[in-house]
Amino acid sequence: MTAYNNSALRELVQPDRVHRDFYINPEVFDMEMERIFGRIWLFVGHASQVPNNGDYITTTVARQPVIMSRDRKGEVHVMFNRCTHRGSQVCLEQSGNTQRFECPYHAWVFNTDGRFAGAPYPKGYEDGFLAKEKLDLVKLPRMEIYRGFVFVSLSTDVPDIDVFLGPMKDHIDAFCDRSPEGEVEACAGVFRYRYSGNWKLQMENQTDVYHIMFTHVSTTDEDGKQFRREGAEEDEAGKVKVLAQDSRLDDQWEEHPLGGHRHGHVYMGRFAMDKKNSGPIYDRYKASMEDAYGDKAEDLMTVKTHNSIFYPHWSIQHLTQHIRVMNPISVDCTENIIIPLKLKGAPEEMWHAALRSNNNSHSPSGMVMSDDMEVWVRCHEGLKTQSTDWVVLARGMNENFTGDNTGSYESHGTSESGARNQQVAWVDYMCGEG
Ligand code: FES
Ligand SMILES: [Fe+2]
C-alpha cells in the first residue's frame, strides 16, 4: 500500500512551492518510474552512435538495462539487456561492434537484431523446445526514430511521438538544419558520469537563469573560458563576468526569453551575450549552408535557442552541440550522458571547437557541470534536513505565466517558470492525467 494516493501527490506540488518529498522520497521515486518514465516516450540515443552494422551501445531506460544495436541489415533495434535463459545481462560493454551477443552465464547466443541464435548442448532440451519457445531478446514495446533521435516507450499505450513532442519537434529540426547536410552525427563518444542527487534537480536547473551569475562565478573569473563558442575571438567568459558585476546590465538577464509547452517541455532562448559569429571558418560554413539551402541559409544558421529540455529526461544544448540524457538511477543518484553532435558537412574546425567547448563545460570535470553538480548534491543533502518541508519556486509568479499543461507559454528572465511547468506536468502524469 502506498502512502501516496492522488490527492497526497497533488499536495506535494503547490503553485509556488513543492514539498521536499517530491525530491527525496524513495516511494515517490518508484512511482515516477512507473507513472512517468513507464508511460511516455524516453530518449535512448542517437542512431549515429551505432553507425555500422553490428555496432551497439548499452544504457538504461527507467533503470532497466537496454541495448541499442544495428543489425546485419542496418536496422536499429532497442532491446532489454536480459538473457531469456536465466536473466543475466548479455552485454556489459558501454559500446562496441559484434557479430552476436553471447551471454556470459551459459553462452546462449543472440543475433544483433535480438533473435535467439542457439544454446550450447541443445540435446539437453526436449525435442523442438528451443525452436518453439520465444527466446529472442525482448524488444522495448515501442520505438520511433526521428532524424536519428531514437525514442522508446516502456508502454504500448503512448500518444503518437509527434503529439508528445509537439512544438519541441521544431527544436530538433532547428538543431539538425544547422548542418549543410541536414544531419547531426554522434561520432566523438560520450561523457558518462553520476551525481548524488535527484534527477529533477537537474531538469529544473536547465532553464534557471537565476543561478548562472552566482553558481558559475568561479568559472567566470579572470581566466574562465568556458563560454567560448566556435568562431568566437573574444573571451565570452569575460562578458559573463561583466554581466554579473554590472548592475546596469541586470535587465539583460531579466529580458532573457524562456518558454515551454504541454507535457513538461521547456526551453531557454539564446543569451544576448552570445555574439554573432564571423571570420574565415564561418564564411566557409555560410557558403556550404547557402549551397544547401539558398535563401533560407541565414535563418537556419541563426541559433535561436540556448537549450531545449524534453520532459522527462533529456535536452539539447544548441551552441555547445550536445544532447544531455539524465537517467535516474535511484532517488538520490542520476547518471548523465553527454553526447556531442557534429553538424555534418560543416567545417571540421567548428566541430573541434564544439568538442573543446564540451570538454570545458560539460565533461565530468567541466567547469560549468562541476559547479552545477555541486549545488544539486548540496540541495539533495539540504532537503534531508527537518528544517522546513517546502522548496520555494515563487520567482516570476507575478508574470503572466500560463504553464498549466494545456498549451504553450512564454516567460522570461530569472523566473522559475520552467521548474513550475515541469511540476504541473509531473502532477498530471503521476495522477494519470498527462
Ligand atoms: S543466463 Fe544467459 S545463458 Fe544462462
Ligand atoms: Fe548551471
* Nearest ligand 1 atom, CA 86: 1
Q: What is the 3-state secondary structure (H, E, C) of 200-259?
A: HHHHHHCCCCCCHHHHCHHHCCCCCCCCCCCCCCCCHHHHHHHHHHCHHHHHHHHCCEEE
Same domain, 243 and 391: yes
Is there a single domain that holds both residue 135 and residue 204?
A: no
User: Does 223 score more than 70 pLDDT?
Assistant: no
Pocket test for ligand 1, best of 67, 108, 121 (most atoms within 8 A of CB): 108
- Residue 212 has what pLDDT? 85
Question: Separation of 266 CA from ligand 1 center, angstroms?
Answer: 43
Whether the predicted pLDDT of 243 surpasses 60: no
Q: Are 379 and 199 in contact (CB under 8 A)?
A: no
Total domains in the chain come to 2
pLDDT given at position 237: 44
Residue 241 has pLDDT above 60, yes or no: no
Torsions phi, psi of 397, nearest 5? -65, -20
Please indicate, yes or no, whether residues 236 and 121 belong to a single structural domain of this protein: no
Which ligand 1 atom lies nearest to the CA of residue 87? 1
Domain assignment present for 260 = yes
Same domain? For 324 and 380 the reply is yes
Instruction: Report the chain's mean pLDDT, rounded to a whole number.
Output: 91
Distance between CA atoms of residues 311 and 257, nearest Å: 19
Same domain, 233 and 284: yes
| Least confident stretch, 102-106, 136-140, 247-251, 283-287 | 247-251
**pLDDT tens, residue by residue, 7-26:** 999 999 999 999 999 999 99
Our answer on whether the CB atom of 105 is closer than 6 Å to any ligand 1 atom is: yes
Q: Are residues 212 and 279 in the same domain?
A: yes
| Residue 88 near ligand 1, beta carbon < 6 Å | yes
Q: What is the pLDDT of residue 214?
A: 83
What would the pLDDT profile of 145-181 be if each residue is shown by its tens digit? 999 999 999 999 999 999 999 999 999 999 999 999 9
pLDDT digits (tens, 9 = 90+) for 291-339: 999 999 999 999 999 999 999 999 999 989 999 999 999 999 999 999 9
**Is ligand 1 within 6 A of the CB of residue 147?**
no
DSSP 319-351: TTTEEEEEEEEETTEEEEEEEE-EETTS-HHHH
Q: Is there a domain that residue 202 lies in?
A: yes
Same structural domain, 190 and 139? no
Pocket test for ligand 1, best of 81, 82, 84, 85 (most atoms within 8 A of CB): 85
Whether 167 is in a domain gets the answer no
Burial of 206 (0-12, 13-18, 19+ CB in 10 A): buried
Q: Quote the CA–CA distance of 58 and 65 in Å, as a whole number.
A: 7
Of 146, 173, 205, the position where a domain reaches its end is 146
- Is residue 259 domain-resident? yes
Atom 1 in ligand 1: which residue has the minimum CA distance? Answer: 86
CA of 216 to the centre of ligand 2 (A): 7
Q: At what angle do helices 367-383 and 348-362 cross, to 10 degrees?
A: 30
Q: Where residue 391 sits, what CATH number does that domain have? A: 3.90.380.10
Task: For residue 33, tell me if it sits in a domain.
Answer: no
pLDDT at 228 over 90: no
Q: Which residues neighbour 38 within 8 Å (Cβ) at sequence distance 6 or greater?
A: 62, 154, 155
Q: Is 352 in the pocket of ligand 1 (CB under 6 A)?
A: no
Range of 58's domain?
46-146
> Is residue 40 a contact partner of residue 158, using CB atoms and an 8 Å limit?
yes
CATH number, residue 74? 2.102.10.10
Average of per-residue pLDDT across 104-113: 98
Question: Which of 146, 174, 190 is the last residue in one of the domains?
Answer: 146
Same domain, 225 and 363: yes
Please determine, for residue 121, whether its predicted confidence score (pLDDT) is greater than 90.
yes
Range scoring the smallest mean pLDDT among 93-107, 130-144, 222-236: 222-236
Q: Are residues 238 and 372 in the same domain?
A: yes
196 and 117 part of one domain: no
Helices (H), 55-146: 129-132
For residues 183-212, average pLDDT = 96
* CB-based neighbours (< 5 A) of ligand 2, an ion: 372
Q: For ligand 1, say whether the CB of 140 is within 6 Å of any of its atoms.
A: no
Domain-located, residue 158: no
pLDDT tens, position by position, 381-394: 999 999 999 999 99
User: The pTM is what?
Assistant: 0.93
Please indicate whether residue 400 or residue 36 has the higher confidence score (pLDDT). Answer: 36
Phi, psi (5° rounding) for residue 281?
A: -65, -45
Q: Are residues 97 and 199 in the same domain?
A: no
Q: What percentage of the chain carries pLDDT values higher than 90? A: 79
Question: Is 1's pLDDT higher than 70?
Answer: no
Distance from Cα 108 to the centre of ligand 1, integer Å: 6
* Residue 34 within any structural domain of the chain: no
Cα gap 412→257, rounded to integer Å: 4
Query: In the listed set 129, 146, 163, which residue is the last one of a domain according to the structure?
Result: 146
Cα of 333 from ligand 2 centre, angstroms = 18
Which grid coordinates are listed for 203? 531538469
